[in-house]
Structure 1
Amino acid sequence: MDTEESLKLLEYLTSSKLWVDTILMGALHVIVILVLAMVVVKVGKNIINRVFQNKRRGPFRITERRETTLRKLIENILKYTVYFTAIVMILDGVLGIQIGPLLAGAGVAGLAIGFGAQSLVRDIISGFFIIFEDQFSVGDYIFTSGVEGTVEEIGLRTTKIMSWTGEQHVLPNGNVTQVTNYSAHNGLSVVDINVPYENDVAKAEDIINEVCSKLPDNYEEIVTVPEIIGVQTLETSHYVIRVIAETLPVYQWAGARIIRKEVKEVLYDRGIEIPAPRLVMYSRNESPNAMEMPSEKHE
């Protein structure tokens, strides 16, 4: 590079046209586009929330859990669309990069990698079916693909589930093949109560019925009065009385703990204790006739 070209380059780098007209104005355009995109996203979210609020007062209503899922999904689609448009405007309008050839190249490349992206397509399609078939919604407690917990988010590609111990599991929607939804209907608590053989069955059932009749008034988790099914099994040292109770969704385990606690306290106060294991021991030194009853004497 000769001296003349070096001077021209230095003049260009120090000119106001480069720094003011190109860099400064370009940066301002980028900032304006990003700010407008954020404003559009925020306004769009407010509109979406108002639409769902008005929907609650309309003739066609949806459940709260499904409303939360659809609202979050629409907000995500809005956010992705607006920011993608903003990036295209920055590349084409500010940086001067032609988008047409890039999109054409992306189309060709998409065909080339399409066979490798089958799992991505499967995840997106599965996500649509999960949402529109209402298999589960945000806030539901489910079990699927070896994971159990509360649904935090349902996206087009993945589903986020938080277990009750705090771990977050991210599952591709294509892997959600079989779902157990504990939040769809009321639960059923099943409790087995062990009673020693020394106690009468009718007396034990009367005490249990007395306790169970008060539970729905004291605990909102229990919907109906627990019902005694009967003697379930006969064990070595006790018999088992089974009790069932309808609970609110996902509260079947809490309902079972409540029934055990309340029944245990009253049974203990009424003299029916927890059965203890029984062990029968025989001595080797005992004579064979030691267990025989003494014979009667005849004169």
Structure 2
Amino acid sequence: MRRDLAVLIMKGSPEPGPWRRLIARSASWFYMATALALWAVGRAAAMMSGGGRWAEAAALTQTAIVIIPILAVGIGSWLDCRAARQAMTDGAPPLSLATGAALRAAAVGILWAAGFFVLARLWAGLLVGMSTTQFTAFSRQAAGVAIFAFAGWVALVFLRVFFDACAPKRRASGPADEDDGPGDSVPSRLATVLPVLRGVVLGAVLGLTILIVLSRLGVDIGPLLAGFGILGLAISFGSQALVRDIVSGVFFMLEDAFRVGEYVDTGRLKGTVEKISLRSMQLRHQSGQIHTIPFGQIQQLTNASRDWATIKFNVRLDHSADIEQARKTIKKVGLALLEDPEFGPHFIAQLKMQGVADITDSAVVIRLKFTAKPAQASMLQREALKMR
């Protein structure tokens, strides 16, 4: 029974966090302790004057703590099934996924809030001696705080699901095949900036919600804002390198200098961009090492994965070879590669001979070139050398 309850709670989220795990482990003990306490209240009510109200409150509480979780799980599961069915029928755009998650959070949250209000109304008069008028005034004040907190929570759920749905799926990190170029699945500019934007937006919404809730509770947030401003100014003066890194990163992103999945060279380090944060980026070297480079330390950057790449390479021929016949043969190889269904789509300009690059004692060196998509340039060069 306890395991079934824990599994039911864990299934409420595809990626349960530490709080949900804690609730799943302690839910069964909470129900046992609550049932025991309510039983004791019911037994004691029989020996008290006016104990009927206590017995009624205990009975209604026992019913509520059983029915409310069942309704919450049922409504959440129904909305999840509805969203999954719609995704299978019409696809699942990010906005639709985020809206469905926000509606689910709102529906379940409203149900829990209503249950909490009913229980508070039952026990406020018994435990605190609060009259109906006092409870009404208190509930109005508490509702103002709860509405803003609830709206902020629903907004966070919506934004988190929306950003997660828009973000590109991370590829498994591990040694890659030589033929699998980094540009095969380079995400768009928006998808590259999205993880940084996600953190900034979620942090801003969370901070704004906390400030509004504190203001509704009667806390003067003016000194808090002034204090945060002074703290930010002190940090900016004391951590100029951090500020430089963040500002440089903003300009790199605005200029679209690189994206996740592209191969770049910073002068000292090179590799495939694996992760971008607010102040640094991580490069994965071909041999597997990860280099973390603050944006402020990047003086120049070369992107080897953007648009196209022209490859020039040499081939050695005997002195007796016919140069004109070699030119025709290379042209035929280039046409054959263009017509190949596997290699042809990667070419932008076909393979051709530029001319004689050098004449040595042992060979005539001719230069060949072609233009292709950067991700497949090395593979196309190897195929061209195989067919010569």
Instruction: Quote the Cα distance in structure 2 between the aligned partners of 1:116 and 1:107.
Output: 14
Q: Which residue of 2 aligns with 1:43?
A: 158
Q: SS where residue 164 of structure 1 aligns?
A: coil
> Does the alignment pair 1:67 with 2:203?
no
Q: How much is the aligned-residue C-alpha RMSD, in angstroms?
A: 3.9
> What does 1:64-213 correspond to in 2, within 5 Å?
65-85=188-208, 104-213=226-335
Q: Which has the larger radius of gyration?
A: 1
Shift of 1:194: 0.6
Which amino acid is the alignment partner of residue 75 of structure 1? Answer: R
Instruction: Quote the Cα distance in structure 1 between the aligned partners of 2:364 and 2:219.
Output: 81
> Does the alignment pair 1:236 with 2:334?
no
TM-score (structure 1 length as normaliser) = 0.61
User: Number of aligned pairs?
Assistant: 227
Shift of 1:206: 2.5
Shift of 1:238: 0.2
Q: SS where residue 236 of structure 2 aligns?
A: helix
Shift of 1:34: 10
Shift of 1:135: 1.8
Instruction: Quote the Cα distance in structure 1 between the aligned partners of 2:338 and 2:387.
Output: 12
Q: Deviations over 1:214-256 (max 9, x none)?
A: 0122213333321110111111200111110111133322222
> Does the alignment pair 1:248 with 2:338?
no
Distance verdict in 2 for CA 1:123–1:50, change over 3 Å: same
Instruction: Quote the Cα distance in structure 1 between the aligned partners of 2:234 and 2:203.
Output: 24
Q: Which residue of 1 aligns with 2:12?
A: none
Instruction: Quote the Cα distance in structure 1 between the aligned partners of 2:166 and 2:294.
Output: 30
Q: Deviations over 1:104-142 (max 9, x none)?
A: 445444444533211111111111111112222223221
Gaps of 5+ in 2: 1-126, 129-147, 168-185
Alpha carbons 2:353, 2:366 under 8 Å: kept: yes
Instruction: Quote the Cα distance in structure 2 between the aligned partners of 1:51 and 1:112.
Output: 36
Which amino acid is the alignment partner of residue 287 of structure 2? Answer: T
Alpha carbons 2:265, 2:301 under 8 Å: kept: yes
Gaps of 5+ in 1: 1-19, 22-32, 53-62, 264-299
Distance verdict in 2 for CA 1:160–1:38, change over 3 Å: farther
Shift of 1:177: 2.3
Q: Which residue of 1 aligns with 2:144?
A: none
Instruction: Answer 1 or 2: higher relative contact order, Cα 8 Å, separation at least 6.
Output: 1
Alpha carbons 1:91, 1:99 under 8 Å: kept: yes
Q: Deviations over 1:124-166 (max 9, x none)?
A: 1111111112222223221114222222333321122222333
Distance verdict in 2 for CA 1:211–1:108, change over 3 Å: closer
Distance verdict in 2 for CA 1:208–1:35, change over 3 Å: farther
Alpha carbons 2:244, 2:296 under 8 Å: kept: yes
Instruction: Quote the Cα distance in structure 2 between the aligned partners of 1:126 and 1:111.
Output: 19
4+ long deviations beyond 6 Å: 33-38, 49-52, 86-94, 96-99
